[in-house]
């Protein structure tokens, strides 16, 4: 289990899995509410946003480059004093009133878990292109 310097087990109020726009936004809201949070994310947050040449559907930022929006998100999180703990969550299991989150780097305990991992691009089903936009 994740441990503090005094060897007592750390129990986070909320653990967030992912570091895309939804997870970062949730982390900021939890920080404002002074919740003890753990934000677990992969090494490079929001790669899809990084690759987007233009984003028009984010309120207040019409026509922004994806990388500029990504940097603004990460800067905001850093200014709020939120750290992104590197790690890919391999399992989440309920244990009593808490949840154990297993990563390659260790285990963490939290009272609640928000899974905000986004979506992965998957291979289309065979024949899908033949029926796409066919009603």
Q: What pLDDT digit, counting tens, does each position of 77-129 carry? A: 999 999 999 999 999 999 999 999 999 989 999 999 999 988 766 666 777 77
Query: How large is the average pLDDT for residues 1-30?
Result: 83
- CATH homologous superfamily of domain 11-120? FAD/NAD(P)-binding domain (3.50.50.60)
pLDDT at 7: 44
Name the residue with higher pLDDT: 14 or 126.
Answer: 14
Asked whether the predicted pLDDT for residue 135 surpasses 60, the reply is: no
- The predicted pLDDT at position 5 comes to 39
Strand, helix or coil at 124? coil
pLDDT at 61 over 60: yes
Residues ≥6 apart with Cβ < 8 Å to 103: 40, 87, 88, 89, 90
Alpha-carbon distance 56 to 73, whole Å? 16
Q: Give phi and psi for 77, each to the nearest 5.
A: -60, -45
Regarding pTM above 0.85, the answer is: no
Look at residue 3 in the predicted model and tell me its pLDDT: 44
User: What span, in angstroms and rounded, lies between the C-alpha atoms of 64 and 31?
Assistant: 26
């Amino acid at each position: 289990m994740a441990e503090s310097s005094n060897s007592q087990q750390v129990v986070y109020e909320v653990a967030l899995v992912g570091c895309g726009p939804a997870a970062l936004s949730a982390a900021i809201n939890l920080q404002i509410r002074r919740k003890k949070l753990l934000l677990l994310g992969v090494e490079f947050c929001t790669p899809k946003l990084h690759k987007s040449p233009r984003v028009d559907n984010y309120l207040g930022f019409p026509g922004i480059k994806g990388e500029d929006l990504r940097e603004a998100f990460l800067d905001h999180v850093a200014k709020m004093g939120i750290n992104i703990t590197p790690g890919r969550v391999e399992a989440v299991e309920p244990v009593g009133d808490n949840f154990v989150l297993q990563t390659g780097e260790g285990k963490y305990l939290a009272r609640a878990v928000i899974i905000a991992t986004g979506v992965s691009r998957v291979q289309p089903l065979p024949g899908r292109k033949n029926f796409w936009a066919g009603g």
